[in-house]
């Protein structure tokens, strides 16, 4: 069985272990209980942080969701349970406390929706319950404490405006009951059972208590058992109260204003109502150990409560249908019958069980996970153990190494019978419905503390939480690629969510593989680039394209040409002639730089909080695959009414060497083109989508001054020769005046004046930046007026000096025999490239002649790229503008860029077609920098925008 697809990793800023998790698939939220006491909330749509819920003083040990009541229950080491409204993140609706303060941690929870009753498993071995009528679930104000992250702000806005479609399957979500052992998971210690089956004293407090508990001055579990056997106390006597826990004076019972009400009292704590559990709503010493796990199952349509404890026992409790009280005695599951083991048996007896740490169920089958790596499978119809599984391979690891690394802390069962178990060593094992181990992998660095299964937008997910401050989301039912087209063809609805997700999951899987190729456009990585091109070719063939490689310049990287053929319009003469769209992209990337600057390996794509990280995810492998999958989706849905040609080169980062010639030689293969689509830049910020309608051109040149003399000593020849460096400085300084104006004659004459339409576009941009991101936008600028800043870098020419090199040793006494400088000139509409280059050369030559130097001047034009200007008002631009607004719910900002893309003006001229430039990346993507990233949401929605655009292109009439 292939490994699960890791969709993303969620992490919080507090760097604390995630001890418990829950999901609300209807609202699209993931909740993570932290060791710090906070509950972090992420969006299940975008994987962005949304907010965090604060209130608990210590670790959040268990989270539980009631979808019917829109409630989140959280238990903690502070002896409380807090109840939250999942519809509006505010302060807790109420705080639930036991009747006495010596109960210890609330380790586990179970909710019976039929009886509106919450059951709590305590550290003092008691199970308590409280009735919570619907009248107690009023909504509070939104919490003001949020993650300090721009993506969190975006997600909050998206959630409030409902701009993200909330399409979900209606199925229950299993909430994980975390069983954590210590603040340091690697050194966790739990109660165990001796060879004589006597429960022993649990030696340490699991999470480190922040306040004194009278419970910790009470009898140990072993002493308590001895007292029971001597008859000093009676376990079956329900009148035995918590006051017997303390050797000294009994703890004082809190004064309740209404001892007969299930709601406890009107007492408030920090303005939040506190509900006290009634003293009689408790089974004292339900076990002889901590109540690590509680679980509701239905037997013959009756809810029963199952509990697991540090005393190694599993008990099944019948429930009074009227009061919700637990009925005594409980049925204790017994595994003394013969056991069939489906995994290697160790020297340890199956009866030498450690603490029962976690429970899961499917129908009448119960799964219990234990300390030291055992899992027992129970038939609740007959109350017998039918299997024992081992979470480890005993022959591979010594018993000493296994200590504290194999405790089964969490289990999750899927609807098909597959079960996932996670242990304190970070491993997760997948078992099939026949209880056979089919997959094992390292899910977390540290312990796998919690897990659950959820359906979201038609996809089955497994979430795992760990001590490495991470919740990882895994795609379970990853569809084989061979079945992908068949599944789409058999779909009842073209917009079926499951198909949309499977396409995205497949897209991210292919992107991960494509990123793994270090396709750096340099001689050292020529073979890596070829392999990346071959993989892209293979992928596009699978997506339905007629694909081939085109040779580039000799010794350079090939191009990938793929043609997706749309439906023919011949059969319907009234239909507009079929349009042909050319997409231009590139698969080569820049050097990653110092690996130490990357948080994760540059060519190993990873996900975190809704972002994908890796070299090329934003520039330009991610957008290229998003376009390809948009086309393929339309093709599979028989909705592709245009032909789409994808032309993906491998030399863009080094000036597109050989690209022009390759296109011209294969123009017949490419065919006639109506519109060119490009996605190769970024937005102005992180929140509002943009369209690029202008790029500056660039002239790259090298200016060199050479002396006929060799390198000289400044002490012997300084002042008597024309020094090349001095000549170079004088020549370059003459290019601009003291205000930065370029001095070439007529240089600014061709600059196109700003028109009214463009002015209106700038007005909206300025308004947007003033309201949101202007401080960051102006960070590196000496121009503090936003409009002037935009005009200067988008539509005004500029000259830059990049570096100066000299020959000879780098010594302060040497006069170099030659010096050279790299210079670039950014040009704008409607400057003429030929005129500017000619004027540049003539100006430098004239300036050098005025020096009367005996040195020689050499000017080399390394690369030239013309400017590009689109038209926001043409039909194709309007089509993509409408597509963006339909997908994102906001009109895009129309922006220009100060950089250059050589191929766009060339392709426009070659095919006599207009280009539209739709960027998918956001401003903080860090393209060309360490930790390059892109939001998964941007790729998903970007792909949807392209699909909508292609549909609209088929309806564009000839102008």
First to last CA, the chain: 55
**Positive or negative torsion for Cα 233, 234, 235, 238:** negative
Phi, psi for residue 293 in degrees, rounded to 5: -150, 140
d(CA 397, CA 727): 73
Place of tokens 């704590």: 269
> Which structure tokens are listed for 139?
């909504």
For the chain, what's the residue count? 959
d(CA 593, CA 591): 6
936-953 helix and 497-515 helix, angle to the nearest 10 degrees: 110
DSSP β-bridge partners for residue 354: 192
Phi, psi for residue 651 in degrees, rounded to 5: -130, 15
Place of tokens 């409607």: 830
CA Rg value for the chain: 34
d(CA 799, CA 823): 7
Is 588 marked active-site? yes
Asked if 631 and 657 touch (Cβ cutoff 8 Å), the reply is no
Q: Which of 652, 653, 887, 925 is catalytic?
A: 652
Q: What is the DSSP string of 150-210?
A: HHHHHHHHHHHHT-S---------PPP------SSGGG----BB-TT-PBPPP-S-SS--S
Of 25, 17, 18, which is closest to residue 63 (Cα–Cα)?
18
Q: Environment class of residue 390 by beta-carbon count within 10 Å: exposed (0-12), middle (13-18) or buried (19+)?
A: buried
d(CA 139, CA 316): 35
DSSP β-bridge partners for residue 893: 690
585, containing H or E segment: strand 580-586
d(CA 623, CA 569): 29
- Cα-to-chain-centroid distance, residue 846: 58
> Which structure tokens are listed for 935?
């939001």
Cβ neighbour number for residue 33 with a 10 Å cutoff: 33
| Cα separations in angstroms, 261 against 84, 131, 277, 782, 959 | 21, 9, 9, 68, 77
d(CA 700, CA 801): 10
Q: Which of 101, 124, 174, 588 is catalytic?
A: 588
Of 600, 470, 556, 617, which is closest to residue 18 (Cα–Cα)?
470
DSSP code, position 848: H
Omega cis (within 30) before 665? no
390, containing H or E segment: strand 384-390
Is 874 marked active-site? no
| Cα separations in angstroms, 643 against 575, 670, 884 | 15, 11, 21
d(CA 681, CA 699): 20
d(CA 41, CA 54): 11
Q: So which residues are the catalytic ones?
A: 588, 652
């Amino acid at each position: 069985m292939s490994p699960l697809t890791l969709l993303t990793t969620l992490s919080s800023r507090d760097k604390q272990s995630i001890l418990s998790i829950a999901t609300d698939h209807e609202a699209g939220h993931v909740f993570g209980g932290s060791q710090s006491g906070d509950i972090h909330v992420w969006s299940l749509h975008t994987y962005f942080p949304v907010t965090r819920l604060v209130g608990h003083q210590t670790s959040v040990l268990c989270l539980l969701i009631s979808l019917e009541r829109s409630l989140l229950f959280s238990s903690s080491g502070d002896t409380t349970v807090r109840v939250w409204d999942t519809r509006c993140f505010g302060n807790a609706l109420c705080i639930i406390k036991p009747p006495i303060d010596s109960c210890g941690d609330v380790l586990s929870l179970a909710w019976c929706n039929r009886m509106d009753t919450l059951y709590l498993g305590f550290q003092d071995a008691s199970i308590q319950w409280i009735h919570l009528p619907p009248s107690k679930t009023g909504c509070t104000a939104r919490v003001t404490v949020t993650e300090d992250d721009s993506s969190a702000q975006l997600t909050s806005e998206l959630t409030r405006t409902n701009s993200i479609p909330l399409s979900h399957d209606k199925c229950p979500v299993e909430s994980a009951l975390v069983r954590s052992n210590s603040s340091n998971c690697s050194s966790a210690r739990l109660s165990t059972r001796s060879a004589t089956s006597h429960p022993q004293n649990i030696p340490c407090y699991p999470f480190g208590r922040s306040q004194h508990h009278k419970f910790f001055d009470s009898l140990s579990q072993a002493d308590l058992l001895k007292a029971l056997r001597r008859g000093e106390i009676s376990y079956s006597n329900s009148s035995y109260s918590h006051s017997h826990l303390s050797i000294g004076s009994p703890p004082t019972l809190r004064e309740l204003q209404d001892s007969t009400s299930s709601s406890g009292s009107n007492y408030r704590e920090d303005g939040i109502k506190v509900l006290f559990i009634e003293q009689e709503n408790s089974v004292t010493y339900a076990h002889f150990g901590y109540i690590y796990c509680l679980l509701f199952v239905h037997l013959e349509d009756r809810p029963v409560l199952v509990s697991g404890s540090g005393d190694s026992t599993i008990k099944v409790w019948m429930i009074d249908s009227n009061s919700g009280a637990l009925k005594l005695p409980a049925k204790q599951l017994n595994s003394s019958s013969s056991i069939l083991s489906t995994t290697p048996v160790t020297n340890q007896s199956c009866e030498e069980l450690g603490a029962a740490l976690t429970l899961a169920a499917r129908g009448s089958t119960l799964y219990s996970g234990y300390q030291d790596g055992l899992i027992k499978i129970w038939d609740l119809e007959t109350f017998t153990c039918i299997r024992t599984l081992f979470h480890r391979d005993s022959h591979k690891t010594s018993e000493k190494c296994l200590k504290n690394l194999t405790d089964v802390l969490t289990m999750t069962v899927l609807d098909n019978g597959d079960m996932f178990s996670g242990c304190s060593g970070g491993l997760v094992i997948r078992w099939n419905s026949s209880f056979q181990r089919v997959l094992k992998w390292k899910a977390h660095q540290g312990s796998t503390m919690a897990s659950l299964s959820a359906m979201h937008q038609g996809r089955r997910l497994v979430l795992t939480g760990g001590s490495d401050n991470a919740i990882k989301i895994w795609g379970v039912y990853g569809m084989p690629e061979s079945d992908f087209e068949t599944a789409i063809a058999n779909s009842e609805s073209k917009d079926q969510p499951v198909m949309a997700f499977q396409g995205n999951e497949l897209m991210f899987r292919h992107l991960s593989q494509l990123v793994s190729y270090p396709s750096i456009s340099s001689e050292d990585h020529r073979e890596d680039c070829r392999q990346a091109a071959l993989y892209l070719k293979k992928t596009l063939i699978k997506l339905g394209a007629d694909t081939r490689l085109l040779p580039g310049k000799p010794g350079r990287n090939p191009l990938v040409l793929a043609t997706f053929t749309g439906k023919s319009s011949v059969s319907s003469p009234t239909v507009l002639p079929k349009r042909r769209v050319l997409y231009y992209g590139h698969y080569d990337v820049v050097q990653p730089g110092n690996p130490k600057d990357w948080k994760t390996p540059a060519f190993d794509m990873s996900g975190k909080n809704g972002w994908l990280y890796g070299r090329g995810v934003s520039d330009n492998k991610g957008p290229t695959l998003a376009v390809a999958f948009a086309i393929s989706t339309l093709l599979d849905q028989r909705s592709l009414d245009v032909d789409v040609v994808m032309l993906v080169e491998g030399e863009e980062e080094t000036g597109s060497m050989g690209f022009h010639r390759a296109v011209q030689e294969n123009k017949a293969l490419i065919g006639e083109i109506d519109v060119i689509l490009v996605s190769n830049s970024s937005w102005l910020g992180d929140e509002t989508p943009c369209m690029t309608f202008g790029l500056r051109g660039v002239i790259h040149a090298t200016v060199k001054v050479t002396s006929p003399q060799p390198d000289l000593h400044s002490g012997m020849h300084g002042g008597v020769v024309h020094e090349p460096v001095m000549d170079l400085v004088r020549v370059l300084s003459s290019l601009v005046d003291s205000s930065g104006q370029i001095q070439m004659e007529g240089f600014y004459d061709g600059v196109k004046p700003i028109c009214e339409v463009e002015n209106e576009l700038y007005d909206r941009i300025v308004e947007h930046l003033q309201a949101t991101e202007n401080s960051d936008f102006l960070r590196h600028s000496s121009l503090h007026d936003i409009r002037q800043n935009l005009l200067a870098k988008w539509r005004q020419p500029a000259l830059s000096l990049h570096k100066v090199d000299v020959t000879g040793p780098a010594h302060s006494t040497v006069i170099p025999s030659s010096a050279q400088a790299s210079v670039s000139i950014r040009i704008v509409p409607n400057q003429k490239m030929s005129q500017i280059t000619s004027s540049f050369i003539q100006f430098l030559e004239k300036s050098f002649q005025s020096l009367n130097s005996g040195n020689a001047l050499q000017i080399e034009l390394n690369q030239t790229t013309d400017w590009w200007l689109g038209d926001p008002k043409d039909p194709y631009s309007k089509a993509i503008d409408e597509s963006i607004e339909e997908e994102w719910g906001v009109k895009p900002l129309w922006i220009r860029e100060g950089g250059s893309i050589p191929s766009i003006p060339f392709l426009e001229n070659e095919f006599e077609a207009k280009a539209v430039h739709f960027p998918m990346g956001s401003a903080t993507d860090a393209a060309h920098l360490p930790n390059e990233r892109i939001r998964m949401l941007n790729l998903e929605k970007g792909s949807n925008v392209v699909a909508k655009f292609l549909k609209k292109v088929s309806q564009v009439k000839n102008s």
